[in-house]
Chains A and B, each alone.
Chain A
Amino acid sequence: MDQRNFTYMFYGFAAAWLILALYVVSLVSRGRKLADQLETLKRTLSQEKG
């Protein structure tokens, strides 16, 4: 019982951290993609102007 108790506590902690970490990773990757797109578009627009 105690061993299982400990394992599941570990699972619980891991799950909490993992979900938050995954969310942060997805947030960062989305942000990077967004910045890339913005950069490309800016360049295209300024080229057209020039």
Chain B
Amino acid sequence: MFDKILFGVGAASGLYLVRNLYTMLMVLPDEAAQGMIYRIMFFHIPSWWTCFICFFIAGAASGYSIAKKNFRADSLAVAATEVGLAFTFVGLATGMIWAKIIWGIWWTWDARLTWAFITALTYAAYLMMRNMIPDPNERMRVSGALNVFSFASVVICYKAIDWWRTQHPGAVMSFRTGGGNIDPAMEGMTYQNLFAFLMLCLVLVTVRLRQEESLRTLEGMRRLAFTRQRIAVLG
């Protein structure tokens, strides 16, 4: 039953994204200064927000998992980190393609771009580290601590790099500027795509979470089989 609901939500998010695609391309007009290319922002901005939310959840879940020795929270942390990393790559790719048109270059060492790159590296290191620790208990402790470190460093890095001169466009959404910088229809579109992304993200995190749980079961059973074998040999 749960599987069906999960699949249903996933399919719904996919359909929602397709429907958004239609509105974006057929209903909304081109932007005055940027032309067609601005539509990339409907993917760029929501994917970054989704990735922030994922990393925040991962940090909180890691803190909880090491404080309470909770394996489920640890699974949630790794699931959220991995999905967040996928959305980070979406944000990076779409941003680079947009920059090629607007700035004429694929990449610039602007504050936020640098930050995004560092963040991706930090969390990729976390995932690599996890795969290298065979013992589940030690894995939870060490990678949990590492995730808390990563979150702290990512937050500090965001502030630190912001002091460099930035080329990245400022906030346009009305809740940060008080309105007037963006057409309401376009802003609505951004929120709709964000909603679709969040639905997709929820499904992906849940799927990954259950995989991590069954991986843990698998490891437990392997140990059991190994012990039994040893007993059989010794006995």
Contact = CB atoms under 8 A, between A and B. Distances in A.
Establish whether A and B are touching in the complex (CB under 8 Å): yes
Interface of A: 1-2, 4-6, 8-9, 11-13, 15-16, 19-20, 23-24, 27, 30-31, 34-35, 37-38, 41-42, 44-45, 48
The A interface is mostly helix, strand or loop, or mixed, namely: helix
Interface size on B, as a range, is 20 to 34
The B interface is mostly helix, strand or loop, or mixed, namely: helix
Nearest to B97: A12
Interface of B: 21, 35-37, 39-40, 43-44, 47, 83, 86, 89-90, 93-94, 97-98, 100-101, 200, 204, 207-208, 211, 214-215, 217-218, 221-222, 224-225, 228
Nearest to B210: A31
Nearest to A24: B204
A31 B225 contact: no
Given A41-B218, A44-B225, A45-B224, A8 B211 contact: no
A48 B211 CA distance: 26
A15 B95 CA distance: 10
A35 B214 CA distance: 8
A19 B94 CA distance: 10
A17 to B, nearest CB: 8
B204 A27 contact: yes
A38 B21 contact: no
B192 to A, nearest CB: 15
Contacts of B208: 27
A35 B208 CA distance: 13
Contacts of B83: 23
